[in-house]
Structures are given as structure tokens and as C-alpha cells.
Amino acid sequence: MADHLHTELAGSEIFGALAATDGERLSSLLIPRSFQKDQVIFLKGDPGFGLYLIRSGKVKVCAIDRNGDELIFTFLTEGDVLGEMAILDGKPRSATAIAVDRTDTAYLDRTKFLEFLRASPQTSVGIISTLCQRLRRVSKQLEEMSFLDVSGRIAKHLLAVTKSTAHEAASPDRSGVYAISQEELARVVGASRVMVNKVLNSFVDLRLVSMARKKITVLDAGELARIASYDLEN
């Protein structure tokens, strides 16, 4: 198990640059934990006793108000780290995390992790860099919410999430497939489901995307980029 965890650490955003000896030592501290579909991993306000390395599956990070309305901040998948903010500052969880599918993780206790950081300061630099990247993404998301209309926000989000597969696609006008429901997409872009449905149907009519059950396939990334033309360089 430790060998598998060491390999997965090497593929993670935060721990990928660890020296071999540090990776082996950190992997020995990890505890496997699994969650069923729709199971809550932690709630906003819960104590931040540890972080999770996602080994497989998908996790939704969100905020839920007293009426049950939900705002999705991001989705995390294999190789991503969940809960790193609370494990560093010791404060309560800043968001709720829910397993979208069956999700396997490796859990790292905060006390043990801080001891590891004291002995491996270069890891702290990697974590700080990752946190800065996430803060930049949140800032960008807020900026887009202010300056882009719903069509632009949807187009930009579709381009962002399918970007990694766009480089691997056989044809330049077929970028990738995104597995998400319209309701979830509405929560991500901050719009009503009715409006998201209307925009997606217009994209289908224009042959910019195709849709199947909970799947959106980008067909014309160039035209979506034109629609999401606000600050395209970022």
C-alpha cells in the first residue's frame, strides 16, 4: 500500500516535487479512507484535523446556505489535495466537501503533517505555491462573475475544464468531454438552471457543443473562446 501511495504522491499537485526520501516518509503517514457517492467528507465549520489526497473519484467543494441552496466552488479529482487550508492554519473548514462518486483518499493527520513540514521545509514552498494558484482561480472566478454574462461564463468554464484534453484531441475542433449535470453547472457559474439550459441549447443549435446525459462535449473551442472573450489570455 505504501508503494502505491508514494506513486500517487508523485502525481499530486502539491507533493509531486518531493525528494524520493521525503515522499517515502510522507506516504508512510497516510491512512486510506473511502467515501460513498454523495457522502459528506466534511462540512464547513468542522475542525480541520487533516488533509486528503484524492486517489480516485470526484469531490465537490461547495457552500450551502440555510435554505439548502448550493454554490459550487470547484470539483477535485485524482491527484488533487483537499483540506490543505485548515491543516495549515488550524481553523475550521472553509467549505463543505462531498463525494460526487465513490472516492478513495489518503488521509494525513494535521499534527503528523506539521511535524513532517518542520523536517522538510521545501514542501512548505510547494504548498504555498498551490494555495496562491487557488486564490488566483477564486479571484478570476469572481472577476468573471462580474464582467461576463451567463453565456460567457459557461463558455469559459467549458473551455477551462476541457483544456487538458484539447491538446490530446485528434481534431482541433473537438476539445473534450465534460461530465456534469446542468444543475451542477448552474451552481458553478452562478446562474439558474433554466438559464443554463437555454444557453446550452443555443450552443447545441450553433454546433458549439453536443449534449448527452450529464455530459457536454465541446465541438468548437474557437467559437466558445470568442464568446468567452473577456481576458482570454488568462
40-77: pLDDT as tens digits: 999 999 998 998 999 999 999 998 888 888 888 888 98
**CATH number assigned to the domain covering 2-144:** 2.60.120.10
Q: What is the pTM of this model?
A: 0.63
Q: Is the dihedral of CA 41, 44, 46, 49 positive or negative?
A: positive
User: What is the distance, to the nearest Å, from the Cα of residue 176 to the centroid of all Cα atoms in its chain?
Assistant: 17
Fold type of domain 148-227: Arc Repressor Mutant, subunit A (1.10.10)
Domain extents in the chain: 2-144, 148-227
142-192: pLDDT as tens digits: 666 665 788 988 998 898 887 644 433 333 334 478 888 888 888 888 888
